Amino acid sequence: MSAVLSDQGAFVAWRQARQDAVEAALSEWVSADAPAGLGDAMRYAVLDGGKRLRPLLVLAASEAVAGSAEAAMRAACAVELIHAYSLVHDDMPCMDNDVLRRGKPTVHVRYGEAQALLAGDALQALAFELLVPDDGSVGPAMAAQLCRQMARAAGANGMAGGQAVDLASVGHVLDQPALEAMHRKKTGALLQASVLMGAATGQADRDVLVHLARYGASLGLAFQVVDDVLDVTADSATLGKTAGKDAAADKPTFVSLLGLEAAQAYADSVIDEAHQALDHSGLPDAGILHALADWVGRRAY
Amino acid sequence: MSAVLSDQGAFVAWRQARQDAVEAALSEWVSADAPAGLGDAMRYAVLDGGKRLRPLLVLAASEAVAGSAEAAMRAACAVELIHAYSLVHDDMPCMDNDVLRRGKPTVHVRYGEAQALLAGDALQALAFELLVPDDGSVGPAMAAQLCRQMARAAGANGMAGGQAVDLASVGHVLDQPALEAMHRKKTGALLQASVLMGAATGQADRDVLVHLARYGASLGLAFQVVDDVLDVTADSATLGKTAGKDAAADKPTFVSLLGLEAAQAYADSVIDEAHQALDHSGLPDAGILHALADWVGRRAY
């Protein structure tokens, strides 16, 4: 870990500054101009909420490879829009039927189901639009690469596919490899893509990319294990969403499979793997990426 | 109109050959591999159905500018996936709640609402993925341009925005400018983008693009006016979807606004504008584009 980031205060300052910058960029790019209230629903779905973990991973990876700051901010906001749209659709009555998200009523509760459906659809389109500006701020080769990475991570063999497996697994017993395979698609693919899209905003050796891919995969798995632990140990007010809903929905989780204590220990060991991947990457300054891994491992909401 | 295409038989042969090629490409690219039945739902939503008007517009415009055939086929399938996903979501109970599409049960009737929602989401991601292959078959500048055009046409100020206006207009009186503005977004944006994406697979002068944009806009408007006429005059078996549903839903249409006869005459006049735009484009062989305009104006389903 780099000297400056061994200081937890420096990481907190970095995180806060980047979260603020992402919030400002999202507020600019997710316009209220869209007709018939659609823009309002999109902004409600995106702004003023969340840890912005995916954008932070994009920005940290980009900074670690000295990438383009402008391309990185677009990629950071794009992955956050993909994440936000997936939450809007996931919360709908035909999916998880959830009424609370980030401490507020979910989009369909606030704006109706039809508007929520359209807002999610429009956010996905906007995510891709952000990656291909016509002002020359992202070169075409980089833009095409970012679109490719995001489309694969979001699509049928990434996030959407993982959600389909998740739906099909309700009430079934999954063993640990099957549970991990599901989460690798459902949440892991976009988290890993966030790291690799950040790296794609600069010039990184193939060897560095291999290690960053391992880092992203470990961090994604750890994120989900911690999520399952928090679903049991935290309350709804802290989480900003309904706690205990996985157990109520009879969904397989790392806690139901391993028990609470072993699940927490497993999360710690996977975070260690993320650190090791960075150590082997040869990146001269991976301090922020290390700190983000610890943040994911220790998060309380 | 070019000599060869003044022969209606030649156009029918062209259309059939391109429809077959699009069907084969879609069948290859929309894989059944996606997990937990998601791939099946996606294929059901896309294959073996529809006129493939948007792909035909892409291919015809590409051929008119001597564009890349490989890029054009990818763009043709991409816009069809955007169209298909919009139908899947539009048919859902929280939107139009329709049970019949292309003569078959709608996706949510067949696979359930959650799978329909995910299939639509995954189809949108796949549409973008098709435009950015990593095999070098579409150059990065062209790929980025195609992504940009499609994202704008599909998003909050295009198709999704038009659907939001459509939802908000139920039970309201719209005047003709407002009705046209709604349809320009809801269906016109993607139809026009199909023409311009086809043109983007080649080298077209700015002046040609201006006239092709006019052609696409007129064709898109005519398409919707004819749609409203058919909603009144055709039966469900012919349409392959529920007839008379606009009136039943108390939606404003060109027929409710103008009357049946004037609506048909308006469609004819807008098709004339499409022909004039082509005549002014200077394209040496716009015969197929002319024939497609007539096909839209005279379609019976």
Percentage of chain B lying above the pLDDT 90 cut: 85
With cut-offs at 50, 70 and 90, classify the pLDDT of residue A239: low
Give contacts of B 156-175 with A, CB under 8 A.
156-158, 160-165, 167-168
Identify whether the C-beta of residue A157 lies closer than 8 Å to the C-beta of residue A185.
yes
Query: Which whole number is the average pLDDT over A245-263?
Result: 85
Contacts of B161 in chain A (CB under 8 A): 34-36, 38, 122
Give contacts of B 219-278 with A, CB under 8 A.
none
Query: Which whole number is the average pLDDT over B41-69?
Result: 96
Helix axes A53-64, A69-90, angle to 10 degrees: 160
A104 DSSP β-pair partners: A101
| Residue-averaged pLDDT of chain A | 93
Residue B276, Cα to own-chain centre: how many angstroms? 21
pLDDT of residue B4: 45
pTM: 0.96
Determine the residue among B29, B147, B183 to mutate to test chain A binding: the one whose Cβ has the most chain A Cβ atoms within 10 Å: B147
Whether B5 shows a pLDDT value over 60: the answer reads no
The Cα–Cα gap between A113 and A91 comes to 10
Residue B164 is nearest to which of A36, A143, A145, comparing CB atoms?
A36
Quickly count helices (H) and strands (E) in chain B.
Answer: 17, 2
Q: In chain A, what are the domains?
A: 3-294 (1.10.600.10)
* ipTM exceeding 0.90, yes/no: yes
B11's tokens: 């156009």
pLDDT in tens, A88-131: 999 999 999 999 998 899 999 999 999 999 999 999 999 999 99
Query: Which whole number is the average pLDDT over B52-78?
Result: 98
Residue B122 is nearest to which of A117, A121, A155, comparing CB atoms?
A155
Residue A161 is nearest to which of B34, B89, B151, comparing CB atoms?
B34
Whether A4 shows a pLDDT value over 70: the answer reads no
Contacts of A118 in chain B (CB under 8 A): 89, 160, 163-164, 167
A156·B125 Cβ contact <8 A: yes
Tell me the HSE value of A267 on the side-chain side, using a 13 A CA sphere.
Answer: 24
With cut-offs at 50, 70 and 90, classify the pLDDT of residue A2: very low
B124 in contact with chain A, both atoms CB, cutoff 8 A: yes
| Residue-averaged pLDDT of chain B | 93
Determine the residue among A142, A157, A190 to mutate to test chain B binding: the one whose Cβ has the most chain B Cβ atoms within 10 Å: A157
pLDDT in tens, A32-84: 999 999 999 999 999 987 899 999 999 999 999 999 999 999 999 999 999 99
- Quote the minimal CA–CA distance from A8 to chain B in Å: 38
- Count of CB pairs separated by less than 8 Å, A with B: 183
The Cα–Cα gap between B126 and B259 comes to 41
Q: Identify which has the larger pLDDT, B246 or B279.
A: B279
Residue B125 is nearest to which of A39, A154, A164, comparing CB atoms?
A154
A37·B164 Cβ contact <8 A: yes
Whether B239 shows a pLDDT value over 80: the answer reads no
Percentage of chain A lying above the pLDDT 70 cut: 93
pLDDT in tens, A141-196: 999 999 999 999 999 999 999 999 999 998 888 899 999 999 999 999 999 999 99
With cut-offs at 50, 70 and 90, classify the pLDDT of residue B6: low
Q: What is the widest separation between alpha-carbon atoms in chain B?
A: 52
A211 in contact with chain B, both atoms CB, cutoff 8 A: no
The Cα–Cα gap between A179 and B208 comes to 54
Q: Which is it for strands B100-101 and A104-105: parallel, antiparallel or unpaired?
A: unpaired
The Cα–Cα gap between B129 and B146 comes to 11
Residue B36 is nearest to which of A115, A148, A168, comparing CB atoms?
A168
B109 in contact with chain A, both atoms CB, cutoff 8 A: no
A155 in contact with chain B, both atoms CB, cutoff 8 A: yes
- Quote the minimal CA–CA distance from B223 to chain A in Å: 22
Determine the residue among A87, A128, A170, A197 to mutate to test chain B binding: the one whose Cβ has the most chain B Cβ atoms within 10 Å: A128
Residue B35 DSSP class = T
The Cα–Cα gap between A256 and A289 comes to 30
Contacts of A33 in chain B (CB under 8 A): 156-157
Query: What SS3 state is found at A113?
Result: helix
The Cα–Cα gap between B219 and B215 comes to 6
Q: Give the end-to-end CA distance of chain A in Å, rounded to a whole number.
A: 25
pLDDT of residue B7: 75
Contacts of B38 in chain A (CB under 8 A): 156, 160-161, 164
Q: What angle do CA B18, B227, A113 make, to 5 degrees?
A: 100
